[in-house]
Amino acid sequence: MPVVDIDPDELRQLTGTERDDDRLKDDLFGLGLEYEGETEDGDLQFEFAPDRLDRLSVEGVARSLRYHYGEDRGTYVPPTNDADWTIEVEDSVPDERPYVTGAVVRGIDLDEKGLDSLIQLQEKLHATMGRKRAKGAIGIHDLTMLKGESVSEEGGPSIRYTGVDPDGPRFVPLDSDAELTPAEVLEEHPTGREYADLVSEYERYPAIYDELGLFSFPPVINGRRTEVSTDSRELFVELTGTDQWTIDKMCAIVCYALSARGATIEEVEVEYPDRTLLRPDFEIREKRVSHERIEGMLGMEFDPETVIDCFERAGLSATQVLGEETAYDVEVPPYRVDVLHPVDLIDDVGRAYGFDGLIPKYPEVSTVGARHERTRLEDAARNVLVGLGFEDTLNFHLINEAENYERLRVTPGEGVLGAGDPATIREPYSEDYTMVRTWALPSLVMVLENNTHRSYPQNLAEVGFAAELDDSTETGVRERRTVAGVLARTDASYEDAKGVLQALARNFEVDLETPPTEHPTFIDGRAASVVIDGQPAGVVGEIHPEVLVEHDLELPVAAFEFRLDTLE
């Protein structure tokens, strides 16, 4: 979940409140921001769910608090000045990253804290909506360092979003003194190496030019020439990405934050070859919410004034629509990226009203409860085994090939129990867990291996899950429940395991036969097929000394495993 670092004094100043830290923490908890601790610099850290990305910086958190305190009400859109600058989009822009947007910001006065906050917002937006810059990346530049090219007859300055040869233009990236090509940045610059994967497959790399040359290599790094400092008074914000809506919303969130610090937002024209957009996109979306639905979802009656008050305290303007049924037209500001459906606005009403105020009630509908037959059967088998003295174990379903096959002397595909083809994990992290177990006996033998220091006898059982590939099923995997047991003690023998099977067979009133078989995990001549009601169901026998020694066991182990469903 995202975490935002907040200087409490800045928060008080931007919110216009005198409330102390503890009070602020309580109020923010009510808004869904949970206090996590302090940074080394004394900033307060809050964690929140990734829906309200407008709260990724102190400015947005302050805005939410102002609404919460009733200092502000209703939907707000910052004023914008008419466009002077243009972003020209060239045909050479890489197909993989075709979209760009931006804004000009004037009259900003950032101190160190303000600049940190802006950088934090940028990085957190990258991490969330920007999908680690893959979907959207923000570049912020000192406007006074840009020299616009003049493209239009009216003579407004412009910059160009274009595609360049990776080994072509040279520029000095941030945190560097060397002139590097984009390809060199990806190899030599730490930030370049970090984000190289995003563009390395592109034929042409994205780049933004002014008259003086390349000043931004999105989504990787900006040029040093236009670096923003506390002395910067005018900014150029540009965003590139794989989705216009996403970068427009990220842009809007950045503009709202800067506007809250007193900056003036100025529009920018984005000229694609086939269309022109005016950005930032501060368009207000309108959604209609029915009064009945609000009452139904929150489970209580409201008068329309209360509903409208709640909307306004949530930062939304609402007008009541009179008709056959009461409804509201709600204006959703551009930074509210989480609102997809009227139900999201009902949630806002609930939060503003206070969900704590909704008294719990048990739903007045009656249904009949029941266990699933499969789990009842599992439990019955487990209970019988426990009655026979087995310790019931619960093992991981994930295992690796060595444990599942080799250490039990089984060769995959050889047609014995356990030799089935496994469902395998793609790019596993851990070499211990690379596949789903095809049988449960290896898990039990591992438990014995890990407990050689504990007292014997150790009689362990598991009624559990195993799976193997099978094209004839819906998912391509045959999942089954399996009954497995091991008896480890100084005089354990085949007969002990067979005795348990006989007891199980008796309890479940099934017919048990144990014709001799060969299975590599067991000693030849001391292994049998478990045949239940005429169907082959598993195997029983004395475990092969090689398997015992492999698992550091110094005493005989008798074991069995068979399909649970044969007991039905």
Residue 96, interface with another protein (CB under 8 A)? no
User: Of 177 and 372, which has the nearer Cβ to another protein?
Assistant: 372
CA distances from 74 to 70, 83, 313, 315, 476 (A): 10, 27, 7, 5, 54
Site for another protein in 473-532 (CB under 8 A): 474-477, 479
Candidate residues 421, 491, 513, 552; the one interacting with another protein per rule CB under 8 A: 421
Identify which range of 154-162, 179-187, 240-248, 275-283 contacts another protein by CB under 8 A: 240-248
User: Of 301 and 509, which has the nearer Cβ to another protein?
Assistant: 301
Least distance from another protein to the Cβ atom of residue 445, Å: 9
Candidate residues 64, 117, 232, 443; the one interacting with another protein per rule CB under 8 A: 443
* Burial annotation 18-30 (CB, 10 A radius, 16+ → b, else e): ebeeeebbebbee
By residue count, the chain amounts to 568
Q: Is 511 annotated as a binding residue?
A: no
Closest CA to 253 of 151, 356, 130: 130
Site for another protein in 328-357 (CB under 8 A): 338, 340-344, 346-347, 350-351, 355-356
Q: For residue 545, say if its preceding peptide bond is cis, omega within 30 degrees of 0.
A: no
Closest CA to 254 of 120, 97, 64, 112: 120
Site for another protein in 135-154 (CB under 8 A): 135
What tokens were used for 148?
């616009």
User: Of 150 and 424, which has the nearer Cβ to another protein?
Assistant: 424
Q: For residue 173, say if its preceding peptide bond is cis, omega within 30 degrees of 0.
A: no
State CA 286 to chain mean position distance: 29
Least distance from another protein to the Cβ atom of residue 211, Å: 34
Q: Is 344 annotated as a binding residue?
A: yes
Distance CA 173, CA 196 (A): 14
Distance CA 459, CA 441 (A): 13
Distance CA 447, CA 528 (A): 24
Residue 533, interface with another protein (CB under 8 A)? no
C-beta of residue 548 within 8 angstroms of C-beta of residue 561: no
Site for another protein in 390-419 (CB under 8 A): 390-398
Long-range contacts (CB closer than 8 Å, 24 or more residues apart) made by 514-520 = 514/540, 518/416, 519/416, 519/417, 520/408, 520/409, 520/410, 520/411, 520/414, 520/416, 520/544
Distance CA 394, CA 382 (A): 11
Distance CA 144, CA 126 (A): 25
Least distance from another protein to the Cβ atom of residue 220, Å: 20
Candidate residues 42, 190, 273, 360; the one interacting with another protein per rule CB under 8 A: 360
User: Of 130 and 148, which has the nearer Cβ to another protein?
Assistant: 130
Site for another protein in 448-467 (CB under 8 A): 450-451, 454-455, 457-461, 465, 467
Distance CA 239, CA 218 (A): 8
What binding mask, one character per residue, do residues 41-80 give for another protein by CB under 8 A, x or -?
A: --------xxxx----------------------------
Site for another protein in 271-300 (CB under 8 A): 285-288, 296-300
Closest CA to 327 of 346, 340, 344: 346
Candidate residues 229, 367, 472, 490; the one interacting with another protein per rule CB under 8 A: 367
Candidate residues 336, 382, 407, 563; the one interacting with another protein per rule CB under 8 A: 382
What tokens were used for 397?
């379903």
For residue 454, which phi and psi values (nearest 5 degrees)?
A: -100, 160
Judged on CB neighbours under 10 Å (0-12, 13-18, 19+), 127 is middle
SS3 state of residue 132: coil
User: Of 344 and 533, which has the nearer Cβ to another protein?
Assistant: 344
Q: Is 552 annotated as a binding residue?
A: no
Please name the helix (run of DSSP H) or strand (run of DSSP E) that holds residue 432, with its range, or none: none
Least distance from another protein to the Cβ atom of residue 531, Å: 26
Q: Where are the alpha helices (DSSP H) in 92-141?
A: 112-127
Least distance from another protein to the Cβ atom of residue 291, Å: 14
Residue 27, interface with another protein (CB under 8 A)? no
Least distance from another protein to the Cβ atom of residue 341, Å: 5
Least distance from another protein to the Cβ atom of residue 525, Å: 29
Q: Is 5 annotated as a binding residue?
A: no
What binding mask, one character per residue, do residues 153-182 give for another protein by CB under 8 A, x or -?
A: ------------------------------
- Total residues binding another protein (CB under 8 A): 97
User: Of 104 and 346, which has the nearer Cβ to another protein?
Assistant: 346
Candidate residues 383, 411, 502, 535; the one interacting with another protein per rule CB under 8 A: 383
Q: Which residues are annotated as a binding site for Mg(2+)?
A: 338, 344, 347-348
